[in-house]
Amino acid sequence: MIGDKSVLGLIVARGGSKGLPRKNIRQIGGKPMIAWTVEAGKQSQCIDRLILSSEDDEIIEVVRQLECDVPFVRPKNLATDESSPIEVIRHAIESLPEKYDYLVLLQPTSPLRIANDIDRCVELCYQKKAPACVTITESEKTPYWMYELREDHRLHSVLSGTKRIVRRQDLPKTYTLNGAVFVARSDWIIYHDDFLGPDTIGCEMPRVRSIDIDSATDLIVADAIFKETGLG
């Protein structure tokens, strides 16, 4: 709960992954990767119920062994590369008999995210009366020094129209989505196609916990962080 509002935690994990096959249950820090998200969700002080949405029997079995609720099996047509994340969310919300005020989307590919990151994001969304809140981290590379390479090999600034900033210390801070936590009011997200909108707010997370597993290299880096920090 947050105030008098109920909160549903939704872990989304499908079996198919072309970039890193079976990534959601690959070992990282001595556990299946999805286990870290289950643990963080269960430790959250805000989430009232934590559930999994998946079509994959092996992922479902792993999560059930972790004592996480699996109230339904996701339809196969919502588990393809082209499937809309919002359609998956709508299916989950509509599949439950009870209703929740807030929806928290958690992806297994952010295994270093902790319960406090989840709760801070929910609390900020509630306190600011925002329809949605997403976790962000400070950009490693500034867009002020990014360029497109044209066919004639000329460089064109991505941020065209802005004055070139030469000194690093003069650069404004920029942030990127890290994919760790997405929070929204349930009555809002069910009618929108994205968590991002003009009234969406950001909740900053440290870069060390913001790694998003998308490749074998990401897996190696995250595993090294777990070992270095003593978590794994």
The pLDDT value recorded for residue 70 is: 98
The pLDDT value recorded for residue 119 is: 98
The pLDDT value recorded for residue 18 is: 73
The pLDDT value recorded for residue 227 is: 87
Indicate the Cα dihedral angle 9, 14, 17, 22, nearest 10°.
90
CA–CA separation, 87 and 49 (whole Å): 20
Q: What is the mean pLDDT of each run of 10 residues along the chain (232 residues)?
A: 98 87 93 98 98 98 98 96 93 97 98 98 98 97 93 91 84 95 97 95 96 93 88 64
The pLDDT value recorded for residue 232 is: 60
- Domain 7-138+176-229 belongs to what topology? Spore Coat Polysaccharide Biosynthesis Protein SpsA; Chain A (3.90.550)
The pLDDT value recorded for residue 117 is: 98
Residue-wise DSSP of 44-105 = -SS-SEEEEE-S-HHHHHHHHHTT-B---PPPGGGSSTT--HHHHHHHHHHHSSS--SEEEE
- The identity of residue 94, as a single letter, is E
- The identity of residue 154, as a single letter, is R
The pLDDT value recorded for residue 164 is: 84
Where are the domains positioned within the chain?
7-138+176-229, 140-173
125 backbone dihedrals φ, ψ, rounded to 5°: -60, -45
